[in-house]
Structure 1
Amino acid sequence: MKKKWQPTLIRTGIRIPLILWTLAVLYPIIWMFIGSFKSNAEIYANPWGLPETFNVQNFADAWNNYNIDTSVFNSAIVTVLGMVLTLVLALPTAYALERLRFRGSSILFTVYVSAMMIPMVLGWIPLFFLLMDFGLLDSIIGLSIVYAISQLPFSIFVLTSFMGTIPKELEESASMDGMSPYGILFKIIAPLSTTAIITVSIMNAIQFWNEYFMALIFLNSREKYTLGLAIDFIGSEAQYTNAWGTLFASLTIAIIPVIVLYAIFQKRIAKGMTEGAIKG
């Protein structure tokens, strides 16, 4: 009898902390979502209750009066450009490090992996002056380049680990048929690495969409603000204008694409991370 109860007790002991943690994470998100449909009077009078009527005026105010529409567009551009540029740089680099063995390749891979341990904050000041010298300061393009470079070590690590699970015989057969290394990469390795590519792309997209500090440092013009900066501006204004409903609406607009994107590709991301982890 004791042996029969042991698995149940173990599962219960694991699930209870996970359920409590889930509730702790979901509660402020739900509270924010409900608050986005309340008027300021309702937020002050009944901050924890449901709104009397679900009013979308807060979303209209955020979209029209606080230029959230422009910030959403800027964040989308930065996210897409950063994600594409990261893949363009990381995919051939990962293939070269994993398959085209050359002198110093292991050292170079170690350098890339070690870069994951270096706090990005240490490079902000040099990057600021570097972007200034190239005329890319206060530029969406410049910010996209910085984002892409910041995620290169992680992307190369995941892609390299995943490529190590692909049988080399496929490449050897293609090479014997006269296919070039670029053909092997884009016609054989890339299609077989779709799961890892999707994993890297989604993880990077979430990181770029939510990023705040580098955008704060490298962007000055309000019309180029990303969502993080726009929401910070609304938060500062809310202290004096009581635009808390507008702030909640802005946060809801920012968080919904991330939740939807992760929900759609959750299984792909988990598969990509686990398959890359069992390299060899």
Structure 2
Amino acid sequence: MSTETRAAITIRRGVKPPVPIRRVTSTTGDKTVAGVSHVVMGIWALVVILPMLWTLIGSFKTTKEIFASPFGLPANWNFDNYVSAWVDNEFGLMFLNTVIVVGVSLVAVMILGAMCAYVLARFSLPGSRLIYYLMLAGLTFPIFLAIVPLFFILQNMGLLNTLPGLIITYVAFALPFTVFFLFSFFKSLPYEIQEASYVDGASEWRTFFQVMLPMAKPGMAAVAIMNFLGLWNQFLLPISLNTDKNNWVLSQGMAAYASSAGYALDFGQMFAAVMITIIPVLIVYVLFQRQLQGSVSQGPSK
């Protein structure tokens, strides 16, 4: 019996025939590029990991130990520096303010940005192209040029030196990038699925939240990572528009602590404060990275 006959009988029985394995041969050039790429990535990983590891070890040392043995292990592994930074230097309060501002801003900008990008990408409305180009223009506008107008706007609104005022400002500056990033993503999604949801009787809101938005999870995860990193590390906006010490965020606290202490700086506490600032970013990145990889593997065919 020939191979074609066996395949036809197998298909009639409802079993898919085995897919032949295609062997891919690598050339010398491919191996060279792969080797160089791995070496460069390894060097880059060391450049990123080693300073972070040194900071982590230094956060358990005293200032005397850091200067006496910069690369050695601490004599006593304790969390005294973390407790002092969290309580005595009020990094706990600043951490809470940062979580509130960044968390609310991120949720708001993701919802508003996804809705705006979806409408601009999927519907032909009068002035939609103009709105899209205005969003792109917002990406080219330097932040420092808007500090003075923002100061007076928030002052007139009674939101200067407040967390809600900082949240509104964060959302305004992160929205253009979010729309720009998600626009092409929503544009590439198949229209047949959207039309099928209409045929099933779904409304525009239900189609967006239950059909199109889950298909956009890879783009949402990617832009959420970038927005979180940008908002968490924001320094110019809070230092200009949020001078009340009770409402300081971590970036302000780090700068104020390093500049006020001068030569009497406790490097152990400073390293602990740096780790308090870095660890949440690493946790969020790992969580979103896993979701991003899972979403990409599912694809829009889901």
TM-score (norm 2): 0.84
**For 2:189, which of 147, 166, 170 is the aligned residue?**
166
Name which of structure 1's ranges 83-92 and 254-263 shifts more when overlaid on structure 2: 83-92
The answer for the alignment partner of 2:180 in structure 1 is: 157
| Alignment partner of 1:248 is 2:280 | no
3-state SS of paired residue (2:161): coil
Name which of structure 1's ranges 158-167 and 91-100 shifts more when overlaid on structure 2: 158-167
Note the alpha carbon deviations across 1:196-227, whole angstroms, 9 max, x for none.
22222232122211111111011111111101
**For 1:36, which of 48, 59, 78 is the aligned residue?**
59
Gaps of 5+ in 1: none
Identity %: 30
Tell me if structure 2 keeps the 8 A contact 1:116–1:154: yes
The answer for the alignment partner of 1:6 in structure 2 is: 29
For residues 126 and 271 of structure 1, what CA distance do their matches in structure 2 show? 43
For residues 185 and 5 of structure 1, what CA distance do their matches in structure 2 show? 49
Tell me if structure 2 keeps the 8 A contact 1:78–1:144: yes
Tell me if structure 2 keeps the 8 A contact 1:86–1:152: yes
3-state SS of paired residue (1:151): helix
| Alignment partner of 1:108 is 2:105 | no
| Alignment partner of 1:203 is 2:226 | yes
Tell me if structure 1 keeps the 8 A contact 2:81–2:268: yes
Pair member with larger Rg: 2
**For 1:145, which of 168, 192, 199 is the aligned residue?**
168
Name which of structure 1's ranges 42-51 and 164-173 shifts more when overlaid on structure 2: 164-173
AA in 2 matched with 1:135: G
Runs of 4+ in structure 1 displaced over 6 angstroms? 270-273
AA in 2 matched with 1:244: F
How do 1:9-28 residues align onto structure 2 when only pairs under 5 Å count?
9-28=32-51
Note the alpha carbon deviations across 1:105-161, whole angstroms, 9 max, x for none.
123212212322222222111111111110111011110111111111111122222
AA in 2 matched with 1:114: A
Tell me if structure 2 keeps the 8 A contact 1:147–1:208: yes
**For 2:76, which of 36, 43, 53 is the aligned residue?**
53
Tell me if structure 2 keeps the 8 A contact 1:199–1:268: no
Tell me if structure 2 keeps the 8 A contact 1:199–1:272: no
**For 1:179, which of 202, 205, 229 is the aligned residue?**
202
3-state SS of paired residue (2:283): helix
Name the CA shift for 1:78/1:44 in 2 (closer, same or farther; >3 Å).
Answer: same
For residues 35 and 159 of structure 2, what CA distance do their matches in structure 1 show? 54
The answer for the alignment partner of 2:213 in structure 1 is: 190
Tell me if structure 2 keeps the 8 A contact 1:37–1:55: yes
For residues 162 and 185 of structure 2, what CA distance do their matches in structure 1 show? 34
Tell me if structure 2 keeps the 8 A contact 1:238–1:244: no
Tell me if structure 2 keeps the 8 A contact 1:219–1:225: yes
| Alignment partner of 1:126 is 2:149 | yes
Deviation at 1:4, TM superposition (A): 4.7
For residues 223 and 104 of structure 1, what CA distance do their matches in structure 2 show? 43
Tell me if structure 1 keeps the 8 A contact 2:117–2:180: yes
Name the CA shift for 1:99/1:6 in 2 (closer, same or farther; >3 Å).
Answer: closer
Q: What is the aligned-residue RMSD (CA, Å)?
A: 2.3
TM-score (norm 1): 0.90
Aligned residues: 274
How do 1:198-277 residues align onto structure 2 when only pairs under 5 Å count?
198-269=221-292
